[in-house]
Amino acid sequence: LFYSLAYVTTNGVLFYLFKFVIGKPGEFWIAGAVATVIGFVTSPLYPILNRFIPRKVLFALGQCSMILAYIIFIVAQTNLTLLIIGLVLFNINFAQLVTVLSMTDAIEYGQLKNGNRNEAVVLAVRPMLDKITGAFSNGIVGAIALVAGMTGSATAADMTASNIHTFELLAFYLPLACAILSLLVFTFKVTITEKKHAEIVEVLQAKLATGEAVDVAVTPASDILTTEILAPVSGQPLALADVKSAAQPQGLPGVGFAIRPSDGRLYAPFDGTIRFTFSTKHTLGIVSADGLETIIHVGIGTVNLRGTGFTTYCQDGQVVHAGDLLMTFDRDLIKQSGYDDVVVTFFTQPGRVTAHTEDWSTEVQHGQSAMKVTFK
């Protein structure tokens, strides 16, 4: 909220800066050109930088750049070259991307804490903030123009030292304070980092496997039902207990199976509906037409890849059919990064499962029967 208020307000007063302070309204196009060019550069640059630099640091660097820009705006006066440098620094900011990603990661935290994924609610916060700041900034910009005498037929020649000082105080000092507050709030109050989110996802997956984090939206069936689970990938089938890692040397918990894949394509194991996909793309939830909720996740430790190497072909709420392509993943990248590419399938409500039988040999092809599950 603080960042958006500063950013939108400043963009709103730039025309007044060029017209009434610099006296060159015809040069206002420079502000739009700088914002466009820097935007095209910084957006694709973010995921590259984020591989090596935590997003909290990127946010801090962006805010420091914004703060420095305000200092330049204040001292530059009518120096157009300095103002252009300030505009460049002002637009080098990853705050919007970082905010969206932090909110997205909070979805898994909410699911871990209360068993529900409130994606619509969480992601609606950002556009709500945009509407709030849009309304406030419109009022602020109008008030600045009125108080500083930048209305009607006034020109740069009509501006007194008092007018300019009033403009700078409201147009730059106030947003500067918001930029500083934004940095302080994010630094000390936002605790979901990439590392913390990876820990949340690992704990969430373990609780889903044991039925501790049940999605309450799934209503248990009133009758005993049997669902045939098809192999989501081709490869070598394994029992969950045989999938061992440093974190779980005794093997994975829960009811389900794993497959060590021979390629990087993952398909729907039955007819059903996509319930959710993690922001890191390596995990998805799918519920069968008869109510068996299933989690499929690719790899051990792959949450740390933050979605790199994964491409999804489905979205939340989508109805899919057995054999539909849901995801592709880069096995070579997973292994080169030091992670296991094993594909794990398990059921989030193991207490409902009354019986299950494996139906595989030493190798299985996607689409072949892998397990029959009887549940209530």
Domain with CATH 2.70.70.10 in the chain: 216-375
Quote the pLDDT of residue 213: 63
Quote the pLDDT of residue 50: 86
Q: pLDDT tens for residues 160-192?
A: 989 998 998 999 999 999 999 999 999 999 888
CA 233 to each of CA 128, 230, 317, 367: distance values in angstroms, whole numbers, following the listed order: 41, 9, 22, 8
Whose tokens are 């440093």? That residue is 246
pTM: 0.77
Domain with CATH 1.20.1250 in the chain: 2-192
d(CA 40, CA 51): 19
Residue 15 in 3-state DSSP? helix
Q: Which two tokens stand for residue 24?
A: 């060159």
Q: H or E segment at 174?
A: helix 174-189
Q: pLDDT tens for residues 254-307?
A: 888 999 999 999 999 999 999 888 888 999 999 998 888 899 999 998 998 988
Half-sphere exposure of 181 (CA within 13 A, CB side): 13
For the domain spanning 216-375, the CATH number is 2.70.70.10
Quote the pLDDT of residue 207: 82
CA 265 to each of CA 45, 96, 206, 347: distance values in angstroms, whole numbers, following the listed order: 28, 32, 24, 21
d(CA 104, CA 99): 9
Quote the pLDDT of residue 359: 67
Quote the pLDDT of residue 222: 57
Which phi and psi angles does 344 have, rounded to 5°? Answer: -110, 130
d(CA 284, CA 99): 23
Whose tokens are 């603080």? That residue is 2
**For 295, left (φ over 0), alpha (ψ -120 to 50), or beta?**
beta
Please provide the size of the chain in residues: 376
* pLDDT above 90: percentage of residues in the chain: 47
d(CA 292, CA 23): 68
Q: pLDDT tens for residues 19-37?
A: 998 888 899 999 999 999 9
Whose tokens are 């793309």? That residue is 281
Gyration radius from the chain CA atoms:
27
Q: pLDDT tens for residues 235-244?
A: 999 988 888 8
Domain 2-192 CATH (choose: 1.10.287, 1.20.1250, 1.20.140, 1.10.3470): 1.20.1250
For the segment 92-102, the average pLDDT, to the nearest whole number, is: 86
CA 102 to each of CA 107, 200, 235: distance values in angstroms, whole numbers, following the listed order: 9, 13, 35
Whose tokens are 């820097």? That residue is 38
Quote the pLDDT of residue 327: 95
* Among 12, 201, 5, 32, residue whose Cα is nearest residue 95: 5
Q: To 5 degrees, how large is the angle CA 159–CA 162–CA 166? A: 100
